[in-house]
Structure 1
Amino acid sequence: MYWQIGERIFEEEQGGGERAEYGSRLLKFLSEKLQPQFSTVFSDRNLAWFRQFYKNFPIVSALRTQLSWSQ
């Protein structure tokens, strides 16, 4: 789930760019929209981790081979 959230932020919200448009405060905006409905799991800090997780493992099938269930 976190990989998919990171993918959505990176690909759809940022358009695949390294960063969102300057001054857009994308992660803070998304966090403010998601937290009331889904809890503090969606803080801007956690959303940044989700995005980084996707960027480090962009191919989900490769991710499965590199991580064990305990991770």
Structure 2
Amino acid sequence: MAAPTATDFRAPLPVRDYEAVITLHDNPDPADALVTWDSAFEPAGADEGTAAAVITGVLQDGLDAVK
């Protein structure tokens, strides 16, 4: 089974070589889910702090959208 992928959350992003893994974990409380979204990237066109802040916003927006 292929892993889910998504692109162009907010294009253009100030990163290159972006990779992410979204994992849904078992949770004893059926009303909640535990989701982790790990990513790796290289800054491109912005300093590392700015690139990380943009990616953090993208990740948070994505997680908020599935609540």
Q: Which has the larger radius of gyration?
A: 2
Bin of the TM-score, shorter chain as denominator length: 0.3 to 0.5
More strand by share: 2
Write 1 or 2 for the structure with the bigger share of helix: 1
TM-score (norm 1): 0.35
**TM-score, normalised with respect to structure 2:** 0.37
Higher RCO (CA 8 Å, separation ≥ 6 residues): 1
